[in-house]
Amino acid sequence: MGGVARKGMLVYEIYRALSYVVSPLLQLHLRWRKIRGLEHPTRLPERLGRPSLTRPPGPLLWFHAVSLGEGMAAIPVIKECVKWRPDLNILLTTATMSACEVIINQLPTGVLHQFSPIDTPAAMDAFLDYWNPNAIMLLECELWPNLIMVSSRKGIQLALINARVSMKSFKLWSAPVLFPLISLLLSKFSLIIPLSSMQGIHFQLLQAPPFIINFAGDLKYGLRPLSRKGAHYDCSVIFPPILTLPLTEVGIGLHRRLGILAAITEIQKILYTKGALTQRIFLASLFYLLYHCFFTAVEYDASKEELRSIDDLKVQLGHRKVWMASSIHRGEEEVMLGVHKVLKQVYPDLVTIIVPRYPQHGKDIAQKLQKEGQLVALRSQHQKIVPGRNIYVVDTLVSGKAMMGMFSNQDIFEKLGCYCVELCHEMKVTLVKRVFGELRHLYRLTPIAVIGGSFFPGLAGHNISEAAAAGCAVLTGYHVGHFSHMIREMQQLNPLSVLQVTGKLELEEAMLKFFSDAKVLEARQTASKQAFHALSNGIIANAWNVLYFHVLKQALLKGR
Protein backbone atom coordinates (compact mmCIF):
# COMPACT_ATOMS: atom_id res chain seq x y z
CA MET A 1 0.00 0.00 0.00
CA GLY A 2 1.44 3.35 -1.08
CA GLY A 3 1.81 6.45 1.03
CA VAL A 4 -1.30 8.13 -0.38
CA ALA A 5 -3.36 4.98 0.19
CA ARG A 6 -2.13 4.69 3.80
CA LYS A 7 -3.05 8.32 4.45
CA GLY A 8 -6.40 7.69 2.81
CA MET A 9 -7.09 4.73 5.11
CA LEU A 10 -6.13 6.84 8.11
CA VAL A 11 -8.53 9.61 7.09
CA TYR A 12 -11.24 7.02 6.43
CA GLU A 13 -10.78 5.41 9.85
CA ILE A 14 -11.18 8.86 11.41
CA TYR A 15 -14.31 9.45 9.30
CA ARG A 16 -15.70 6.03 10.23
CA ALA A 17 -15.11 6.64 13.94
CA LEU A 18 -16.70 10.08 13.78
CA SER A 19 -19.71 8.77 11.84
CA TYR A 20 -20.14 6.09 14.51
CA VAL A 21 -19.95 8.64 17.34
CA VAL A 22 -22.38 11.10 15.76
CA SER A 23 -24.82 8.36 14.67
CA PRO A 24 -27.26 9.08 17.57
CA LEU A 25 -27.21 12.77 16.66
CA LEU A 26 -27.90 11.94 13.03
CA GLN A 27 -30.89 9.86 14.08
CA LEU A 28 -32.21 12.78 16.11
CA HIS A 29 -31.63 15.02 13.12
CA LEU A 30 -33.68 12.65 10.94
CA ARG A 31 -36.52 12.74 13.45
CA TRP A 32 -36.40 16.53 13.46
CA ARG A 33 -36.53 16.50 9.67
CA LYS A 34 -39.54 14.19 9.90
CA ILE A 35 -41.31 16.67 12.20
CA ARG A 36 -40.59 19.42 9.67
CA GLY A 37 -41.97 17.27 6.86
CA LEU A 38 -38.61 16.69 5.18
CA GLU A 39 -38.64 12.93 5.73
CA HIS A 40 -41.38 10.45 4.94
CA PRO A 41 -43.61 9.97 8.01
CA THR A 42 -43.76 6.16 7.79
CA ARG A 43 -40.49 5.27 6.05
CA LEU A 44 -37.88 6.80 8.34
CA PRO A 45 -36.42 3.36 9.29
CA GLU A 46 -35.26 3.02 5.68
CA ARG A 47 -32.84 5.90 6.31
CA LEU A 48 -31.28 3.74 9.03
CA GLY A 49 -30.84 0.77 6.72
CA ARG A 50 -33.98 -1.06 7.83
CA PRO A 51 -35.97 -2.28 4.81
CA SER A 52 -39.70 -1.90 4.28
CA LEU A 53 -39.81 -4.30 1.32
CA THR A 54 -38.98 -7.96 0.91
CA ARG A 55 -35.87 -8.70 -1.11
CA PRO A 56 -36.78 -10.89 -4.08
CA PRO A 57 -34.59 -13.93 -4.76
CA GLY A 58 -31.90 -13.73 -7.41
CA PRO A 59 -29.30 -11.16 -8.53
CA LEU A 60 -29.96 -7.54 -7.53
CA LEU A 61 -28.59 -4.23 -8.85
CA TRP A 62 -28.66 -1.14 -6.66
CA PHE A 63 -28.93 2.30 -8.29
CA HIS A 64 -28.40 5.17 -5.85
CA ALA A 65 -29.44 8.75 -6.63
CA VAL A 66 -29.88 11.49 -4.05
CA SER A 67 -32.24 14.01 -5.62
CA LEU A 68 -34.75 14.29 -8.44
CA GLY A 69 -32.25 15.23 -11.14
CA GLU A 70 -29.98 12.24 -10.54
CA GLY A 71 -32.96 9.93 -10.19
CA MET A 72 -34.46 11.02 -13.50
CA ALA A 73 -31.08 10.48 -15.17
CA ALA A 74 -30.98 6.94 -13.78
CA ILE A 75 -34.41 5.92 -15.06
CA PRO A 76 -33.49 5.49 -18.77
CA VAL A 77 -30.56 3.25 -17.78
CA ILE A 78 -32.82 1.25 -15.48
CA LYS A 79 -35.33 0.83 -18.32
CA GLU A 80 -32.53 -0.34 -20.61
CA CYS A 81 -31.50 -2.84 -17.97
CA VAL A 82 -35.07 -4.14 -17.67
CA LYS A 83 -35.24 -4.38 -21.46
CA TRP A 84 -32.11 -6.52 -21.85
CA ARG A 85 -31.99 -8.34 -18.50
CA PRO A 86 -35.56 -8.72 -17.19
CA ASP A 87 -34.29 -11.50 -14.93
CA LEU A 88 -32.41 -9.03 -12.73
CA ASN A 89 -33.93 -7.38 -9.66
CA ILE A 90 -33.38 -3.63 -9.49
CA LEU A 91 -33.45 -1.38 -6.44
CA LEU A 92 -33.41 2.42 -6.71
CA THR A 93 -32.73 4.56 -3.65
CA THR A 94 -33.21 8.30 -3.32
CA ALA A 95 -32.76 10.65 -0.39
CA THR A 96 -35.27 13.45 -1.03
CA MET A 97 -39.05 13.56 -0.86
CA SER A 98 -39.36 15.33 -4.21
CA ALA A 99 -37.40 12.57 -5.91
CA CYS A 100 -39.54 9.89 -4.31
CA GLU A 101 -42.92 11.33 -5.21
CA VAL A 102 -42.03 11.83 -8.86
CA ILE A 103 -39.69 8.95 -9.63
CA ILE A 104 -41.78 6.23 -8.02
CA ASN A 105 -44.39 6.73 -10.76
CA GLN A 106 -41.81 6.63 -13.54
CA LEU A 107 -40.15 3.33 -12.63
CA PRO A 108 -40.78 0.19 -14.67
CA THR A 109 -42.99 -2.44 -13.09
CA GLY A 110 -41.10 -4.53 -10.57
CA VAL A 111 -38.36 -2.00 -9.80
CA LEU A 112 -38.09 -1.45 -6.05
CA HIS A 113 -37.71 1.91 -4.33
CA GLN A 114 -36.30 2.67 -0.89
CA PHE A 115 -34.96 5.77 0.80
CA SER A 116 -31.18 5.69 0.94
CA PRO A 117 -29.50 4.89 4.27
CA ILE A 118 -27.41 7.53 5.99
CA ASP A 119 -23.66 6.98 5.72
CA THR A 120 -23.01 5.46 9.13
CA PRO A 121 -21.36 2.06 9.68
CA ALA A 122 -24.47 0.53 11.28
CA ALA A 123 -26.90 1.79 8.63
CA MET A 124 -24.69 0.73 5.72
CA ASP A 125 -23.94 -2.69 7.18
CA ALA A 126 -27.64 -3.32 7.82
CA PHE A 127 -28.64 -2.15 4.35
CA LEU A 128 -25.99 -4.13 2.47
CA ASP A 129 -26.44 -7.27 4.56
CA TYR A 130 -30.14 -7.31 3.79
CA TRP A 131 -30.17 -6.35 0.10
CA ASN A 132 -26.86 -8.02 -0.78
CA PRO A 133 -26.54 -6.34 -4.21
CA ASN A 134 -24.36 -7.77 -6.96
CA ALA A 135 -23.37 -4.29 -8.11
CA ILE A 136 -23.93 -0.69 -7.04
CA MET A 137 -24.39 2.19 -9.48
CA LEU A 138 -23.92 5.62 -7.91
CA LEU A 139 -25.15 8.68 -9.80
CA GLU A 140 -23.07 11.82 -10.45
CA CYS A 141 -21.00 12.67 -7.35
CA GLU A 142 -22.11 10.35 -4.56
CA LEU A 143 -18.81 9.50 -2.85
CA TRP A 144 -19.94 8.35 0.60
CA PRO A 145 -16.95 6.77 2.37
CA ASN A 146 -18.76 4.13 4.44
CA LEU A 147 -20.93 3.06 1.52
CA ILE A 148 -17.94 2.66 -0.78
CA MET A 149 -15.55 1.06 1.70
CA VAL A 150 -18.10 -1.38 3.16
CA SER A 151 -19.23 -2.37 -0.34
CA SER A 152 -15.64 -2.92 -1.44
CA ARG A 153 -14.95 -5.03 1.65
CA LYS A 154 -17.95 -7.21 0.79
CA GLY A 155 -16.70 -7.64 -2.78
CA ILE A 156 -19.53 -5.67 -4.40
CA GLN A 157 -18.77 -4.09 -7.78
CA LEU A 158 -19.06 -0.27 -7.84
CA ALA A 159 -19.77 2.10 -10.73
CA LEU A 160 -20.06 5.90 -10.80
CA ILE A 161 -22.44 6.92 -13.60
CA ASN A 162 -22.78 10.38 -15.15
CA ALA A 163 -19.91 11.26 -12.86
CA ARG A 164 -19.15 14.88 -12.22
CA VAL A 165 -17.37 17.04 -9.69
CA SER A 166 -17.96 20.78 -9.40
CA MET A 167 -14.99 23.13 -9.35
CA LYS A 168 -15.74 23.92 -5.71
CA SER A 169 -15.70 20.22 -4.79
CA PHE A 170 -12.65 19.60 -6.95
CA LYS A 171 -10.67 22.25 -5.06
CA LEU A 172 -11.92 20.89 -1.74
CA TRP A 173 -11.12 17.28 -2.64
CA SER A 174 -7.66 18.29 -3.87
CA ALA A 175 -6.77 19.69 -0.44
CA PRO A 176 -4.05 17.77 1.46
CA VAL A 177 -6.45 16.29 4.03
CA LEU A 178 -9.18 15.03 1.68
CA PHE A 179 -7.11 14.12 -1.38
CA PRO A 180 -5.83 10.77 0.03
CA LEU A 181 -9.37 9.79 1.05
CA ILE A 182 -10.90 10.67 -2.34
CA SER A 183 -8.09 8.85 -4.12
CA LEU A 184 -8.73 5.78 -1.96
CA LEU A 185 -12.48 5.87 -2.62
CA LEU A 186 -12.06 6.23 -6.40
CA SER A 187 -9.70 3.25 -6.45
CA LYS A 188 -12.56 1.03 -5.26
CA PHE A 189 -14.63 1.60 -8.41
CA SER A 190 -14.69 -0.79 -11.35
CA LEU A 191 -16.11 1.89 -13.66
CA ILE A 192 -16.45 5.65 -13.82
CA ILE A 193 -18.55 7.16 -16.64
CA PRO A 194 -17.87 10.93 -16.61
CA LEU A 195 -20.43 13.18 -18.21
CA SER A 196 -17.69 14.97 -20.18
CA SER A 197 -14.02 14.71 -21.11
CA MET A 198 -13.19 17.57 -18.73
CA GLN A 199 -14.86 15.70 -15.89
CA GLY A 200 -12.80 12.66 -16.86
CA ILE A 201 -9.65 14.76 -16.47
CA HIS A 202 -10.83 15.94 -13.05
CA PHE A 203 -11.26 12.37 -11.86
CA GLN A 204 -7.84 11.38 -13.19
CA LEU A 205 -6.29 14.33 -11.35
CA LEU A 206 -7.96 12.95 -8.23
CA GLN A 207 -6.06 9.72 -9.00
CA ALA A 208 -8.92 7.62 -10.34
CA PRO A 209 -7.27 4.75 -12.27
CA PRO A 210 -7.34 5.71 -15.99
CA PHE A 211 -8.42 2.23 -17.11
CA ILE A 212 -11.74 2.47 -15.21
CA ILE A 213 -12.78 5.72 -16.94
CA ASN A 214 -15.04 5.16 -19.94
CA PHE A 215 -17.18 7.67 -21.79
CA ALA A 216 -20.81 7.34 -22.84
CA GLY A 217 -22.07 10.93 -22.73
CA ASP A 218 -24.33 12.94 -20.46
CA LEU A 219 -27.41 10.94 -19.47
CA LYS A 220 -29.44 14.16 -19.31
CA TYR A 221 -29.49 14.04 -23.11
CA GLY A 222 -31.35 10.76 -22.80
CA LEU A 223 -34.22 12.06 -20.67
CA ARG A 224 -37.66 11.55 -22.17
CA PRO A 225 -40.92 13.34 -21.31
CA LEU A 226 -42.57 12.26 -18.10
CA SER A 227 -45.18 9.56 -18.37
CA ARG A 228 -48.84 10.46 -18.15
CA LYS A 229 -49.11 8.98 -14.71
CA GLY A 230 -49.19 11.93 -12.34
CA ALA A 231 -47.55 12.17 -8.95
CA HIS A 232 -49.52 10.90 -5.98
CA TYR A 233 -50.04 13.75 -3.53
CA ASP A 234 -49.65 12.79 0.09
CA CYS A 235 -49.85 15.88 2.25
CA SER A 236 -49.26 13.84 5.39
CA VAL A 237 -45.57 13.99 4.54
CA ILE A 238 -45.63 17.78 4.84
CA PHE A 239 -47.09 18.04 8.34
CA PRO A 240 -46.81 15.46 11.14
CA PRO A 241 -50.08 13.62 11.84
CA ILE A 242 -49.60 14.12 15.59
CA LEU A 243 -50.57 17.79 15.17
CA THR A 244 -53.87 16.97 13.47
CA LEU A 245 -55.71 16.97 16.79
CA PRO A 246 -59.48 16.47 17.25
CA LEU A 247 -60.00 20.15 16.37
CA THR A 248 -59.28 19.04 12.82
CA GLU A 249 -62.92 17.96 12.74
CA VAL A 250 -63.87 21.62 13.04
CA GLY A 251 -62.20 22.25 9.72
CA ILE A 252 -63.77 19.18 8.13
CA GLY A 253 -67.20 20.15 9.46
CA LEU A 254 -66.83 23.69 8.12
CA HIS A 255 -65.83 22.28 4.77
CA ARG A 256 -68.89 20.05 4.60
CA ARG A 257 -71.28 22.86 5.53
CA LEU A 258 -69.69 25.88 3.88
CA GLY A 259 -67.31 24.65 1.20
CA ILE A 260 -63.52 24.73 1.07
CA LEU A 261 -62.95 28.48 0.61
CA ALA A 262 -65.50 29.51 3.24
CA ALA A 263 -64.01 26.98 5.66
CA ILE A 264 -60.58 28.46 5.14
CA THR A 265 -61.94 31.97 5.74
CA GLU A 266 -63.39 30.84 9.07
CA ILE A 267 -60.12 29.21 10.07
CA GLN A 268 -58.27 32.41 9.15
CA LYS A 269 -60.51 34.36 11.55
CA ILE A 270 -59.67 31.94 14.34
CA LEU A 271 -55.95 32.29 13.63
CA TYR A 272 -56.09 36.01 14.29
CA THR A 273 -58.17 35.83 17.49
CA LYS A 274 -56.66 32.93 19.42
CA GLY A 275 -53.39 32.29 21.20
CA ALA A 276 -50.23 30.86 19.70
CA LEU A 277 -50.96 27.23 20.64
CA THR A 278 -54.48 27.35 19.21
CA GLN A 279 -53.13 28.99 16.07
CA ARG A 280 -50.73 26.13 15.58
CA ILE A 281 -53.46 23.55 16.14
CA PHE A 282 -55.70 25.19 13.60
CA LEU A 283 -52.85 25.50 11.13
CA ALA A 284 -52.47 21.75 11.47
CA SER A 285 -56.22 21.47 10.92
CA LEU A 286 -55.91 23.60 7.83
CA PHE A 287 -53.21 21.36 6.46
CA TYR A 288 -55.26 18.28 7.22
CA LEU A 289 -58.25 19.93 5.57
CA LEU A 290 -56.24 20.30 2.40
CA TYR A 291 -55.16 16.70 2.64
CA HIS A 292 -58.69 15.45 3.32
CA CYS A 293 -60.40 17.49 0.62
CA PHE A 294 -57.90 17.27 -2.19
CA PHE A 295 -54.84 15.15 -1.75
CA THR A 296 -56.42 11.81 -0.87
CA ALA A 297 -57.94 11.68 -4.33
CA VAL A 298 -56.72 9.31 -7.02
CA GLU A 299 -53.56 10.16 -8.91
CA TYR A 300 -53.90 13.39 -10.85
CA ASP A 301 -53.28 13.00 -14.55
CA ALA A 302 -51.02 16.05 -14.64
CA SER A 303 -49.38 15.43 -17.98
CA LYS A 304 -52.64 14.99 -19.89
CA GLU A 305 -54.12 18.14 -18.36
CA GLU A 306 -50.86 19.96 -18.96
CA LEU A 307 -50.83 19.13 -22.66
CA ARG A 308 -54.37 20.45 -22.97
CA SER A 309 -53.34 23.65 -21.19
CA ILE A 310 -50.28 24.11 -23.41
CA ASP A 311 -52.39 23.67 -26.54
CA ASP A 312 -54.77 26.32 -25.21
CA LEU A 313 -51.83 28.67 -24.63
CA LYS A 314 -50.68 28.09 -28.19
CA VAL A 315 -54.08 29.25 -29.44
CA GLN A 316 -53.93 32.33 -27.19
CA LEU A 317 -50.51 33.30 -28.56
CA GLY A 318 -51.73 33.05 -32.14
CA HIS A 319 -49.25 34.67 -34.51
CA ARG A 320 -47.73 37.04 -31.96
CA LYS A 321 -43.96 37.11 -31.58
CA VAL A 322 -42.95 35.24 -28.44
CA TRP A 323 -39.82 34.36 -26.48
CA MET A 324 -39.25 32.68 -23.12
CA ALA A 325 -36.85 33.29 -20.26
CA SER A 326 -36.74 30.11 -18.17
CA SER A 327 -35.27 29.13 -14.79
CA ILE A 328 -34.86 32.79 -13.85
CA HIS A 329 -33.24 33.55 -10.49
CA ARG A 330 -33.81 36.69 -8.43
CA GLY A 331 -32.25 39.70 -10.09
CA GLU A 332 -32.27 38.16 -13.54
CA GLU A 333 -35.85 39.30 -14.12
CA GLU A 334 -34.51 42.86 -14.37
CA VAL A 335 -32.36 41.78 -17.32
CA MET A 336 -35.26 39.99 -19.01
CA LEU A 337 -37.78 42.77 -18.41
CA GLY A 338 -35.28 45.32 -19.69
CA VAL A 339 -34.94 43.33 -22.90
CA HIS A 340 -38.73 42.98 -23.08
CA LYS A 341 -39.13 46.74 -22.86
CA VAL A 342 -36.75 47.31 -25.79
CA LEU A 343 -38.34 44.58 -27.92
CA LYS A 344 -41.86 45.83 -27.23
CA GLN A 345 -40.99 49.20 -28.73
CA VAL A 346 -40.24 47.44 -32.01
CA TYR A 347 -42.87 44.70 -31.75
CA PRO A 348 -45.89 46.02 -29.79
CA ASP A 349 -47.68 42.64 -29.82
CA LEU A 350 -44.67 40.79 -28.38
CA VAL A 351 -45.26 38.22 -25.62
CA THR A 352 -42.51 37.49 -23.10
CA ILE A 353 -42.92 34.28 -21.09
CA ILE A 354 -41.05 34.42 -17.78
CA VAL A 355 -40.52 31.15 -15.90
CA PRO A 356 -38.87 31.81 -12.52
CA ARG A 357 -36.98 29.08 -10.74
CA TYR A 358 -39.18 29.53 -7.66
CA PRO A 359 -42.98 30.05 -7.82
CA GLN A 360 -43.07 32.80 -5.19
CA HIS A 361 -40.59 34.76 -7.28
CA GLY A 362 -43.13 34.63 -10.12
CA LYS A 363 -45.83 36.11 -7.91
CA ASP A 364 -43.45 38.86 -6.79
CA ILE A 365 -42.64 39.72 -10.41
CA ALA A 366 -46.33 39.86 -11.32
CA GLN A 367 -47.19 42.09 -8.36
CA LYS A 368 -44.37 44.49 -9.17
CA LEU A 369 -45.39 44.77 -12.82
CA GLN A 370 -49.05 45.24 -11.91
CA LYS A 371 -48.13 48.09 -9.57
CA GLU A 372 -46.34 49.69 -12.52
CA GLY A 373 -49.57 49.48 -14.50
CA GLN A 374 -48.55 46.65 -16.79
CA LEU A 375 -50.98 43.90 -17.77
CA VAL A 376 -49.61 40.54 -16.68
CA ALA A 377 -51.06 37.05 -17.04
CA LEU A 378 -50.27 34.72 -14.13
CA ARG A 379 -50.40 31.02 -14.92
CA SER A 380 -51.49 29.88 -11.46
CA GLN A 381 -54.55 32.14 -11.77
CA HIS A 382 -55.43 30.69 -15.20
CA GLN A 383 -55.28 34.17 -16.71
CA LYS A 384 -55.48 34.39 -20.49
CA ILE A 385 -52.99 36.02 -22.86
CA VAL A 386 -55.39 38.53 -24.37
CA PRO A 387 -54.53 41.54 -26.59
CA GLY A 388 -52.73 44.11 -24.46
CA ARG A 389 -51.14 41.53 -22.19
CA ASN A 390 -47.49 41.17 -23.14
CA ILE A 391 -46.03 39.29 -20.17
CA TYR A 392 -46.96 35.76 -19.10
CA VAL A 393 -45.52 34.61 -15.77
CA VAL A 394 -45.35 30.87 -15.11
CA ASP A 395 -45.46 30.37 -11.34
CA THR A 396 -46.47 26.72 -11.29
CA LEU A 397 -43.12 24.97 -11.58
CA VAL A 398 -42.85 23.59 -8.05
CA SER A 399 -40.06 21.18 -7.17
CA GLY A 400 -39.13 19.77 -3.82
CA LYS A 401 -36.19 22.17 -3.52
CA ALA A 402 -38.37 25.09 -4.59
CA MET A 403 -40.93 24.29 -1.91
CA MET A 404 -38.28 24.08 0.78
CA GLY A 405 -36.87 27.39 -0.43
CA MET A 406 -40.14 28.99 0.66
CA PHE A 407 -39.83 27.61 4.18
CA SER A 408 -36.82 29.53 5.45
CA ASN A 409 -36.02 32.44 7.75
CA GLN A 410 -39.52 32.65 9.29
CA ASP A 411 -41.62 30.82 11.84
CA ILE A 412 -42.40 27.47 10.22
CA PHE A 413 -46.03 27.44 11.36
CA GLU A 414 -46.66 30.94 10.06
CA LYS A 415 -45.19 30.02 6.70
CA LEU A 416 -47.17 26.80 6.46
CA GLY A 417 -50.38 28.63 7.25
CA CYS A 418 -49.76 31.36 4.70
CA TYR A 419 -48.80 28.81 2.10
CA CYS A 420 -51.93 26.73 2.83
CA VAL A 421 -54.23 29.70 2.38
CA GLU A 422 -52.43 30.67 -0.80
CA LEU A 423 -52.73 27.12 -2.13
CA CYS A 424 -56.44 26.97 -1.41
CA HIS A 425 -57.16 30.21 -3.21
CA GLU A 426 -55.21 28.91 -6.17
CA MET A 427 -57.25 25.71 -6.17
CA LYS A 428 -60.54 27.39 -7.11
CA VAL A 429 -60.55 25.54 -10.40
CA THR A 430 -58.06 22.67 -10.16
CA LEU A 431 -55.42 21.25 -7.90
CA VAL A 432 -52.28 23.30 -7.58
CA LYS A 433 -50.01 21.88 -10.24
CA ARG A 434 -46.71 20.56 -9.05
CA VAL A 435 -45.75 19.67 -12.60
CA PHE A 436 -42.19 18.48 -12.92
CA GLY A 437 -42.28 18.12 -16.73
CA GLU A 438 -44.10 21.37 -17.46
CA LEU A 439 -41.07 23.25 -18.73
CA ARG A 440 -40.54 20.76 -21.54
CA HIS A 441 -44.06 21.41 -22.78
CA LEU A 442 -43.69 25.18 -22.47
CA TYR A 443 -40.65 25.17 -24.74
CA ARG A 444 -42.97 24.07 -27.55
CA LEU A 445 -44.59 27.50 -27.46
CA THR A 446 -41.56 29.59 -28.28
CA PRO A 447 -38.91 29.78 -31.00
CA ILE A 448 -36.43 31.38 -28.58
CA ALA A 449 -35.41 30.23 -25.09
CA VAL A 450 -33.12 32.18 -22.78
CA ILE A 451 -31.89 29.89 -19.99
CA GLY A 452 -31.45 31.71 -16.69
CA GLY A 453 -29.39 30.98 -13.63
CA SER A 454 -26.44 32.06 -15.75
CA PHE A 455 -26.26 35.86 -15.86
CA PHE A 456 -24.67 36.66 -12.49
CA PRO A 457 -21.59 35.37 -10.65
CA GLY A 458 -22.43 32.68 -8.13
CA LEU A 459 -25.03 31.05 -10.35
CA ALA A 460 -24.35 27.73 -12.06
CA GLY A 461 -26.66 27.50 -15.06
CA HIS A 462 -29.43 25.05 -15.90
CA ASN A 463 -30.07 22.23 -18.33
CA ILE A 464 -30.25 23.55 -21.90
CA SER A 465 -31.03 20.20 -23.52
CA GLU A 466 -34.80 20.45 -23.02
CA ALA A 467 -34.95 23.73 -24.94
CA ALA A 468 -32.72 22.34 -27.67
CA ALA A 469 -34.85 19.19 -27.94
CA ALA A 470 -37.91 21.38 -28.49
CA GLY A 471 -36.17 23.17 -31.36
CA CYS A 472 -35.68 26.53 -29.66
CA ALA A 473 -32.91 28.95 -30.47
CA VAL A 474 -30.96 28.66 -27.21
CA LEU A 475 -29.29 31.57 -25.41
CA THR A 476 -27.66 31.61 -22.00
CA GLY A 477 -25.22 33.59 -19.89
CA TYR A 478 -21.64 32.64 -19.06
CA HIS A 479 -22.09 31.55 -15.42
CA VAL A 480 -23.15 28.00 -16.24
CA GLY A 481 -21.18 25.78 -13.82
CA HIS A 482 -20.90 22.13 -14.84
CA PHE A 483 -23.36 22.73 -17.71
CA SER A 484 -20.42 24.27 -19.58
CA HIS A 485 -19.62 20.85 -21.02
CA MET A 486 -23.11 20.61 -22.51
CA ILE A 487 -22.78 24.02 -24.14
CA ARG A 488 -19.30 23.21 -25.42
CA GLU A 489 -20.39 19.87 -26.91
CA MET A 490 -23.33 21.42 -28.71
CA GLN A 491 -21.25 24.32 -30.02
CA GLN A 492 -18.60 21.91 -31.28
CA LEU A 493 -21.25 20.09 -33.30
CA ASN A 494 -22.70 23.37 -34.56
CA PRO A 495 -21.54 26.82 -33.43
CA LEU A 496 -25.07 28.15 -33.96
CA SER A 497 -26.66 25.71 -31.51
CA VAL A 498 -26.10 27.81 -28.37
CA LEU A 499 -25.39 31.53 -28.06
CA GLN A 500 -23.81 32.83 -24.87
CA VAL A 501 -24.25 36.50 -24.00
CA THR A 502 -22.61 38.59 -21.29
CA GLY A 503 -25.69 40.51 -20.22
CA LYS A 504 -28.61 42.75 -21.14
CA LEU A 505 -27.04 44.63 -24.06
CA GLU A 506 -25.81 41.53 -25.88
CA LEU A 507 -29.11 39.78 -25.22
CA GLU A 508 -31.02 42.75 -26.67
CA GLU A 509 -28.84 42.73 -29.76
CA ALA A 510 -29.29 39.00 -30.30
CA MET A 511 -33.05 39.09 -29.79
CA LEU A 512 -33.53 41.99 -32.20
CA LYS A 513 -31.50 40.13 -34.81
CA PHE A 514 -33.47 36.91 -34.35
CA PHE A 515 -36.85 38.61 -34.61
CA SER A 516 -35.84 40.74 -37.60
CA ASP A 517 -34.33 37.94 -39.68
CA ALA A 518 -36.38 34.75 -39.97
CA LYS A 519 -33.52 32.89 -41.68
CA VAL A 520 -31.11 33.61 -38.83
CA LEU A 521 -33.67 32.43 -36.28
CA GLU A 522 -34.49 29.29 -38.24
CA ALA A 523 -30.79 28.45 -38.57
CA ARG A 524 -30.38 28.73 -34.79
CA GLN A 525 -33.43 26.57 -34.13
CA THR A 526 -32.31 23.88 -36.55
CA ALA A 527 -28.76 23.89 -35.17
CA SER A 528 -29.85 23.40 -31.56
CA LYS A 529 -32.26 20.59 -32.38
CA GLN A 530 -29.79 18.77 -34.61
CA ALA A 531 -26.99 19.11 -32.04
CA PHE A 532 -29.24 17.72 -29.33
CA HIS A 533 -30.30 14.72 -31.41
CA ALA A 534 -26.70 14.02 -32.41
CA LEU A 535 -25.64 14.00 -28.76
CA SER A 536 -28.63 12.04 -27.48
CA ASN A 537 -28.65 9.41 -30.21
CA GLY A 538 -27.80 6.05 -28.66
CA ILE A 539 -26.52 7.57 -25.42
CA ILE A 540 -28.54 5.27 -23.15
CA ALA A 541 -27.57 2.19 -25.14
CA ASN A 542 -23.91 3.25 -24.94
CA ALA A 543 -24.13 3.75 -21.19
CA TRP A 544 -25.78 0.36 -20.74
CA ASN A 545 -23.19 -1.42 -22.90
CA VAL A 546 -20.29 0.14 -20.98
CA LEU A 547 -21.94 -0.63 -17.66
CA TYR A 548 -22.74 -4.22 -18.58
CA PHE A 549 -19.31 -5.01 -20.03
CA HIS A 550 -17.19 -3.41 -17.29
CA VAL A 551 -19.31 -4.07 -14.19
CA LEU A 552 -22.40 -6.21 -14.47
CA LYS A 553 -20.91 -9.03 -16.50
CA GLN A 554 -18.18 -9.62 -13.94
CA ALA A 555 -20.51 -9.08 -10.98
CA LEU A 556 -23.04 -11.60 -12.25
CA LEU A 557 -20.37 -14.14 -13.20
CA LYS A 558 -19.09 -14.15 -9.62
CA GLY A 559 -22.49 -15.49 -8.60
CA ARG A 560 -22.74 -13.31 -5.52
Is 333 a catalytic site residue? no
Provide long-range contacts, Cβ within 8 A and 24+ apart, for 231-234. Answer: 231/101, 231/102, 231/105, 231/299, 231/300, 231/302, 231/434, 231/436, 232/101, 232/104, 232/105, 232/299, 233/101, 233/294, 233/295, 233/297, 233/300, 233/431, 233/434, 234/101, 234/291, 234/295
Closest CA to 460 of 166, 164, 218, 72: 166
Rounded Cα distance, 94 and 199, in Å: 23
Rounded Cα distance, 38 and 431, in Å: 22
Residue pair 117/48 in contact (Cβ under 8 Å)? The answer is yes
Rounded Cα distance, 352 and 450, in Å: 11
Phi/psi for 393 (5° steps) reads -105, 120
Alpha helices, H only, 233-331: 248-258, 260-273, 276-290, 302-317
From 70, 140, 306, 332, the catalytic residue: 70
In our burial notation (b when 16+ CB lie closer than 10 A, e otherwise), range 81-93 reads bbeeeeebbbbbb
Rounded Cα distance, 161 and 539, in Å: 13
| Helix (H/G/I), strand (E/B), else coil: 392 | strand
Task: List residues with catalytic annotation.
Answer: 70
